[in-house]
Amino acid sequence: MTQNTVTEQMTQAGQKIEHNSFAIVDNETGEHDYTDAQWQIVRRMIHATADFEFNGLSRFSDDAVEAGLSAILNGAPIVADVEMICVGLSKPRLSHFGVNTHHFISDDDVISLAKAENTTRAVQAMRKAHKAGLLEGSIVAVGNAPTALLEVIRLIKEDNLKPALIVGMPVGFVSAAESKAELETLSNVPWIITHGRKGGSTLVVSAIHALLALAEAQSK
């Protein structure tokens, strides 16, 4: 079996630690209800957080993994709600597929509009990305701001926006669970979510890294 190279740790020692960690997760989890491809994503999320509750909290639309792989293999951009996601993603792995990342949360015009319209920066950042044509056919990655996810959902419903995939995992107490529950009702856009309050940028990064690994394996 051909092994991945681009999406592996750079050293043999790092690879051994990661593989041993995955084996521990597999052993301690036991049976689960995910497909093999979905489990590659959930397992990496558990590995990144040491939280086995994501076995169950992680949910996928039927076509989510396939849509994500197609987007990556076609070099679709990733639009994130916060810079942390863009920083956390491996640049060599993204470059291998020609994937670029974007975030606008700290742009001066985004901040000004958020103040003027009494919205959040996350809302204005997604609106800016939409106006720039970046959301259509992209992977939308939300790990922090529920309002970013709610805005993307609004654009889907009102402007017929069609991202390739939404990785919706905002964390928190105000609208986090609710925004993901609303995304879960959509049938025309693929999504991966963490049910309830738990989430975060670390989980989004780990999910996308798993998709990159699956994409490399598929492209061999």
Q: Any idea which residues carry the catalytic annotation?
A: 47
DSSP β-bridge partners for residue 166: 140, 191
Does residue 99 contact residue 78 with C-beta atoms inside 8 Å?
yes
Secondary structure (3-state) at 79:
strand
Residue ranges in the chain assigned as alpha helix (H): 12-29, 36-49, 54-57, 64-73, 83-88, 91-96, 108-116, 121-131, 146-159, 176-184, 201-219
| Cα atoms in the 13 Å half-sphere on the side-chain side of 86 | 15
